[in-house]
Structure 1
C-alpha cells in the first residue's frame, strides 16, 4: 500500500491498485524475496568460510596459526657446520642472529621448492634460536587452500622430513665456504599455536638460569589467565649445567586439548623432544618438576578455553649436568633402595642406567617397586619400545599397580631406558635377599617372590598378584569351585564380573538367550523388551528404551517438570536429557581437583584424594565416625553413630566437631573445623536391624570449598550401581578387628555384590535399604571408626557418586562376610526433603 500526505493536513491519501498492478507487484515481491534469501545464504556461507578458514590468515599475527584445518606447522632443529658459535647468536636483535637466521630461512625455502607438492603450499620458515653445537631451531608453515583440502594429508611429517633429509644429503658442494652447511635435521608436526616468532613482544621470554632460583608465572597469575594466551619461555644455562624447573603451584583447566603446559628438551616445540604435557590441578604431594638433559629448555603455555584458572608459578635453576647423568650402580648389601634418575622429579630424556645387585652365593633377590609410572602417549605397554625398566629380559612400562620380581640367582640386573621424548615420574624400588630354602619365614611364599600371611592362602583373594596363593586349594563350604580349580567366595557369584578368570562363576546366572531378566530376577520372553509396556513388575524391561520416553518406572530418572527419562544414570552425564535440563542442574560435585599419583600396593590416601571425606570427633574422644560432604551446609553419616543406647550425649550437636579436608589425625589443625548445628537421624532407623541407618548433620557455618574440600554427588533414586562394579570406601577406622584407629586416612577398593547372593551369605538380614560390597584387597574391610563414611563409585561421566554409607558387618575382614552399607538411592528422597540438596 502506497501512501502520501496532503499538505497542511494529517490525513493520508490511499491509492488502491488495480488487479494488474497487484499481480505485477506480487511477482516483483517474490523475485525480490528470492534475491534477498540468496544474498542472506551467500552472506552466511561467506562468513562461515571466513570464520573457519580465512579468519586467521594474517601471517604477521602471532595468533594466526591456530588449529585451522588448512594450516600445518612443522618444527625441529638443524645441526650446522662451518659456523663458530658466538653468544651474539643468542641475541635475536643482533645482526649476526638476523643474518644467520635469514640464510637458513632462505635455505629451507629452497629445499621445499624442490618438491612439486610442497612448493604450492609453503608460506614461510622462521628460525627462532641458536644454541651451542651449533644448533638452529626453526618452524615452517604450509597453507592448503580450501579447494585442495582433500590432499592435505599428503603434506605430512614424513614427506617434509624425507625432503629435508634428502636435501641436506645432496646439497651443492659448490657452496661458498662462508655459506652455512646443514649436516643433520629433525622435523615433527607441531601445534601451530606454539609457532612464535623471536621478534614477538607479547608473552615471549628469554631467560638465563643460574644457581639461584628464579621465578616466572603464567599471565594474570595468581588471579586468572586470559583466554587466547600463547606464551613461551626459552631458558638457557652454562654448557656444563642442566636446568631444573618445578611448579609449586599448578592449576590449569583440566582439558589438555585447549589449555596446557608443554615442556621441551629443546628450544623448539618439536614433539620428538617433548618432556611432558600437563593440565589440571596438582597438589603439593604430587608437584610437577622436570629437568632438561642439556643446558636448554622450552616452556610453552597454551590457553584457548574461555574457562580460565589461576595458572601456574614456576621456579627454575641450574643443577650440574653430572648430577643428571648419575644413575645406576653396584649393590652388595642384603637390602637396599634405588630409584629412577632424579626421582621424584620427572626423569630426564635420553638416559640409560643399570643397577647390579649381588648378594651372597646361594641367596636370591626380591625386588618390589613401590611406585612405578613410565607412561608415554601412544605407547603399547605390551611392547615398551620407548621408556622402560628391564629385568631378566622382560620390559615393563606404563603405570603399574603392582610389580614384585624375584631373581633366579644371587645376581640381578635392572636396567632403565628413556628415549628423547616424553618422560614421567619414574619409579622407586627396594630389594632384599632371601634364602631359597626358606624364602618367607613364617609366611607363604608366592611364585613371584612376594611373602604373604599364611591365613591368606586359599581364601579366594589373589593376594600374591599371580594367583599362586590360590592354586592347589580345597574349596571351603563358603566358596565356589571354579572350573579352572580356583576357589572364590560364593558372594562373588553372578555379579557380572569374571572372578574365576574362565567365566565359570558367571555361568547359569541369567535367563535363556531368548529371554529377558527383570530386575527382580523373573525371566520373560525377549519380546517384552522396549515394547512400551511395563511387563516386569519393576519396569526394568523399559529402562533405557528410546521408544518408551514417557513410561515411568523405578529405573526412570524423574525430571523436575515430571518428565521421565528412560536412560541408565542420566544425571550429571553431561547430556541434557530432560527438557528442563534438570538432570544436569545440580552437578557441581563429585570431582577431585588434584592430579594424584598411584602408589603401588598403598592403602594410605593421598592429600586431597577424597575431598568429601569428613572426620567426626566426639567430645574429647577424638575420631569416632566418618561422614561425607553433600553441600556447604550438610554432611551425610550413619544414624548408629548418634543413637547410642544409654548415651544421650551422642545426639547432642554440641558433643561433635567436624574436620573437613583432613588427611592425618595428627594434624587436625590443617583441616577446616566446623561445629554441628543439628543432627537428624532417619525417623525409621531401627537400632536392632540397622535398617534406615542414615543421618544428616547441619553445620553451624558453611564450608569453604577448596582443593581438599568438595561435595560428593548424590545419585538419583533410579541410579544403578551394578554388581561387580569397583568402588572405594575410605575412613580412619581400625586397621584390624579390635585394633587401633588409623592415623592416616585409609582407602580400600571394593566390589558391588549381587543382592541375592548378599542375602544368602548374610542369612536374610538384608533389607532393600542395604547393599553389600566385598573387598578386593584381601584382609581389609570397613571397621570400627569407618561408620558413617562414604562408599563412592566413579562413573564414565567423570563424576564420583556416593552409593552407600558404612553401616555394619560381622567383625572386620572376615571371610564371606561383606561390608553392609546403607543404600543411598533408596533414601535420596528423604535427603532432598530434609536438606534441599
Structure 2
C-alpha cells in the first residue's frame, strides 16, 4: 500500500498460444527454443489495464507468454480488496478473450489456457537488476549485487535462465548467506519464467554450510531466480553456478535414484538427485524384494519434504507412500516394517516447492526374531532390552512401556505405565496423568513450595513471599517488586517474576537489561535434521572448543562464552600434576569438527586459567574453570558464543538437551575423531540425589537416561550441555563434570550447574 493506493498484482498470467491453420506467424524459429526478442501487446477490452508481454517461451506445444499486470486500487475503494482474488481476475481475463474472439470473424491465434496468481508486490515494479542468462553445458557463475562485500536493502533482482529445449537447468549455490528472516530477505526459485507460487521450487534465506548447499534442478529448460531484500542488516549475499543438463542425462540421473526393483537383502535408496533438491513433477516407485520368509525393514536416515501450508497429517503435495500411508514434513525418526517379503515405496513431487528429500536404508530380517538380543518396538525399531519398561519412551510410540509388569522399585501409574518409584512426588508429571503426584503430602487445595513445604493454595501470587524460596510468587505478573530465587534481577535492581525472562525477545525490565548481551546461542548455518545420526555437522555446535594438552592431543572440552573467554571444568586443570594448571601447556581449537582437519579452525594459546576457589577435588563441587585466550576469536559461521543462563533460569526435569565432545564412544574406548552429539534428558534433582547416593550438591545437576545407553564419557570433560529455548536461543545448562563409568544404568552423568555458577563467571570475566 502507498498513500495513493493499495497495490495488488498478478504473480503470473500465462497463455499457451497455438497457431491456427491460417496463422501468419512463422513457427519454425519458435520451436527451436530461441528467444523471441520482439515485444508484443495483447489487445484487450478497454476496461483492462494494458498488459505488456515480458517474455515468450516456445515449446513443441506452442508458445507460452509470460506477462505482468499491475492493478492499482484507489484508497477510497480499499473495501473491495478482499474480493480481489485470482479467480476474479482470471474470470475477467477469460471473458475478455471471449469478447475479443466474438468480435473477430477470423482468429490467427488460439489461446488454449490462461493461469493467474498473485505475486509479492515488491516485484511488481521494474526490478533494479535484471539478467537474462543462457545456460550451456559449461558451468557459469553469477552472484548477488555487492557480493561478497554485502548487498544493499531494497534490492529487487531477477535472473531468467534459459537453455535449449532438450535441456534442463541445474543451479547450485557454493556460498549462500543472507538475512535469517525470510520475511525481509529471501531468494525464491521457480520452475518458470515468472514468480508463480504454483511453479515455485523453493524459497530460502539464512546461511548454509558447505556440507549442506542449496542445489536445485528445473523440470524443463527455464528457471527464474528472484532476490528480494528489505533488511538494513548487510550480509554477503550469494554466489551461484548454473549449467545446462541434457534432459536425457537428467532423466538418467533421476532414473538411477528413482524407482526400480531392489532384490538384495540390504541396500540404500534415495529421492531423485539426493542430496540436491529433488525436481518437481516426479513420480518414483521402488519395489523391495527380500528372501521369502523374511520381512523388509526401512530406516530413513534423513527425511525432509517440507512445504508451506501443508498439513503433514494429510500430505497432499509431496510425499513418500508406504503401505498406504503418506509421509511428509521433517521426520526425526521414521522406521517402517513390511508385512511380507515385498514392500513398495512410492515417491511423489508435484509441480511446486521441492526439498532435500530422503535417504533410506533397507534390510531383511527374520520376523520370528526381528531384533536379535534386543527389544522390537511396534514401529520396527530395535532398542536395548534394558530400555523396556524403564519409564522412558525409547521406541517413540510407547510400545516399550506398554504391558509392563512393574518391578518392586517401580510405581504403577493409573494409565498402566511403570515409572521408577524415585519419581513419585517429585513435582513432575512423569506418568502423564499426574497419578504419580496425586497422593503426595500436600492436599488438593494446597501449594507445595520448592523445598517441599505445603501451604494453602491462596498464598500463590498474593504479592507476599510465603514460601522461604519465593516459589509461590515465581512467574506471577501480579507480584512486581517481589524478589526470590526464581526472579530475574535487572541491572537496575528490579525483579521480574517470569520464568526465563532473559533473551526471550520481550523487554521485561524497565531498563531492557533482560534483552542486553543476547548476541549468543545462535547457529548461523541452516542445518538439516539427521535421523539417528551421532556425528555432528559442520557448524552445528559453533560454541564447542577442543582443548589440547602438550603433545597428548584432545584432552578436554570447553565452550565459547565471549571472544576472549572459554568455560570449562576445573578438574581438567586441578590434578596431581602441576603441569595441567600451566596455561602455556594448553591450546584451544574453535570451529573444529574433525580432529584431523584445520580448515576454518581458529587456534589460540591460553593466557590464563582461573579455577573456582571453592573447587573440591574429592566431591567435584564448584567444578568450573575459566580460560582467557591470548587473542580474541573472530566469530564466523562455525565459531559463535553460547548464552549463559541467568541465576534464575529454569531447566525443568525431562527437558531434552544436547551434550557434545570428542570423548570416548564407549567406556574404556578411544576418543572420537569427529565431534559427537547426544541428546540427554535433565533428571529431577531428587532422583539425581538418590541415584548418586547423596553426592550431588546444588551446584550440580544430572542428565542422561536412568536406563543408561547415552552419556558423556572420558574426554568430554569441560564440554557444554546446551538446551534450546522457545526464544530461539541456546543456553548452556551444564558443564560435563563427573559420573560413574559411562552410560551405566541408574548412573547418569553429573554436570556443573551453570546457573548456580554464573555470578562467579561474570565477576571474573566482566561479561
TM-score category, normalised to shorter length: over 0.9
In structure 2, the residue matched to 1:76 is: 13
Q: By how many angstroms is 1:525 displaced?
A: 2.5
Q: 1:546 to 1:474 in 2, by over 3 A?
A: closer
Select the residue among 187, 194, 218 that pairs with 2:123: 194
Q: By how many angstroms is 1:89 displaced?
A: 11
Number of paired residues? 753
- Pick which of 735-744 and 410-419 moved more: 735-744
User: 8 Å contact 1:491–1:754 — kept in the other structure?
Assistant: no
Q: By how many angstroms is 1:670 displaced?
A: 4.8
1:434-513 → structure 2 map (5 Å cutoff) = 434-490=365-421, 500=431, 504-505=435-436, 507-508=438-439, 512=443
**Cα deviations by residue, 1:6-27 (Å, 9 ceiling, x for unpaired):** xxxxxxxxxxxxxxxxxxxxxx
Q: How far apart in 1 are the matches of 2:400 and 2:226?
A: 50
In structure 2, the residue matched to 1:724 is: 654
Q: How far apart in 1 are the matches of 2:422 and 2:307?
A: 39
Report the secondary structure of 2:174's partner residue: strand
User: 8 Å contact 2:707–2:744 — kept in the other structure?
Assistant: no
4+ runs of 1 displaced by more than 6 Å? 88-93, 494-497
In structure 2, the residue matched to 1:142 is: 71
**Cα deviations by residue, 1:590-640 (Å, 9 ceiling, x for unpaired):** 111000011111111111000001111122222121110001111101111
Residues 1:53 and 2:13 aligned together: no
Where structure 1 has 5 or more consecutive residues not aligned to the other structure, the ranges are 1-51, 58-68, 114-121
1:458-607 → structure 2 map (5 Å cutoff) = 458-490=389-421, 500=431, 504-505=435-436, 507-508=438-439, 512=443, 514-607=445-538
Q: By how many angstroms is 1:90 displaced?
A: 8.4
Select the residue among 808, 817, 835 that pairs with 2:738: 808
Q: By how many angstroms is 1:295 displaced?
A: 0.5
In structure 1, the residue matched to 2:218 is: 292
In structure 1, the residue matched to 2:570 is: 639
**Cα deviations by residue, 1:59-118 (Å, 9 ceiling, x for unpaired):** xxxxxxxxxx54344423221122637459989894xx323xx01xx33x66xx4xxxxx
Q: 1:546 to 1:359 in 2, by over 3 A?
A: closer
Residues 1:251 and 2:180 aligned together: no
Residues 1:203 and 2:152 aligned together: no
TM-score if structure 2 supplies the norm length?
0.93
In structure 2, the residue matched to 1:664 is: 594
Q: How far apart in 2 are the matches of 1:183 and 1:575?
A: 54
In structure 1, the residue matched to 2:669 is: 739
In structure 2, the residue matched to 1:340 is: 271
**Cα deviations by residue, 1:557-597 (Å, 9 ceiling, x for unpaired):** 22222222222222222223323322222111111100001
Select the residue among 545, 554, 560 that pairs with 1:614: 545
Q: By how many angstroms is 1:813 displaced?
A: 1.4
Q: By how many angstroms is 1:497 displaced?
A: 6.6
Select the residue among 232, 237, 241 that pairs with 2:163: 237
User: 8 Å contact 1:76–1:187 — kept in the other structure?
Assistant: yes
Q: 1:491 to 1:269 in 2, by over 3 A?
A: farther
**Cα deviations by residue, 1:184-234 (Å, 9 ceiling, x for unpaired):** 12222210112355xx6x311110001100011111000110000000000
User: 8 Å contact 1:728–1:791 — kept in the other structure?
Assistant: yes
**Cα deviations by residue, 1:396-435 (Å, 9 ceiling, x for unpaired):** 1110011111111121111000111111000011211223
Q: 1:469 to 1:171 in 2, by over 3 A?
A: farther
Q: How far apart in 2 are the matches of 1:77 and 1:347?
A: 25
Report the secondary structure of 1:412's partner residue: strand
Q: 1:643 to 1:85 in 2, by over 3 A?
A: farther
- Pick which of 687-696 and 158-167 moved more: 158-167
User: 8 Å contact 1:590–1:801 — kept in the other structure?
Assistant: yes
User: 8 Å contact 2:305–2:355 — kept in the other structure?
Assistant: yes
Q: How far apart in 2 are the matches of 1:168 and 1:831?
A: 74
Select the residue among 382, 386, 406 that pairs with 2:317: 386
Q: By how many angstroms is 1:306 displaced?
A: 1.0
Q: By how many angstroms is 1:506 displaced?
A: 5.5
User: 8 Å contact 1:366–1:449 — kept in the other structure?
Assistant: yes
Report the secondary structure of 1:586's partner residue: coil
- RMSD between aligned alpha carbons? 2.5
Select the residue among 340, 344, 367 that pairs with 1:409: 340
| Structure with the higher fraction of residues in helix conformation | 1
Select the residue among 82, 87, 90 that pairs with 1:158: 87
Q: How far apart in 2 are the matches of 1:505 and 1:818?
A: 22
Q: How far apart in 2 are the matches of 1:724 and 1:659?
A: 32
Residues 1:309 and 2:250 aligned together: no
Which protein has the larger Cα radius of gyration, Structure 1 or Structure 2? 1
Where structure 2 has 5 or more consecutive residues not aligned to the other structure, the ranges are 20-24
In structure 1, the residue matched to 2:22 is: none
Q: How far apart in 2 are the matches of 1:760 and 1:529?
A: 29
Q: 1:361 to 1:267 in 2, by over 3 A?
A: same
Q: 1:291 to 1:337 in 2, by over 3 A?
A: same
Residues 1:831 and 2:761 aligned together: yes
User: 8 Å contact 2:39–2:53 — kept in the other structure?
Assistant: no
- Pick which of 516-525 and 402-411 moved more: 516-525
Q: 1:217 to 1:508 in 2, by over 3 A?
A: farther
Q: How far apart in 1 are the matches of 2:225 and 2:64?
A: 18
Q: How far apart in 2 are the matches of 1:694 and 1:788?
A: 8
Q: By how many angstroms is 1:321 displaced?
A: 1.8
In structure 2, the residue matched to 1:397 is: 328
Select the residue among 701, 711, 717 that pairs with 2:641: 711
**Cα deviations by residue, 1:700-731 (Å, 9 ceiling, x for unpaired):** 11111110000111111122222222221111
User: 8 Å contact 1:280–1:594 — kept in the other structure?
Assistant: yes
Q: How far apart in 2 are the matches of 1:455 and 1:595?
A: 36
In structure 1, the residue matched to 2:748 is: 818
Select the residue among 27, 36, 39 that pairs with 1:98: 39
Q: How far apart in 2 are the matches of 1:235 and 1:145?
A: 36
User: 8 Å contact 1:490–1:816 — kept in the other structure?
Assistant: no
Q: 1:538 to 1:594 in 2, by over 3 A?
A: same
1:752-791 → structure 2 map (5 Å cutoff) = 752-775=682-705, 779-791=709-721
Q: 1:238 to 1:775 in 2, by over 3 A?
A: farther
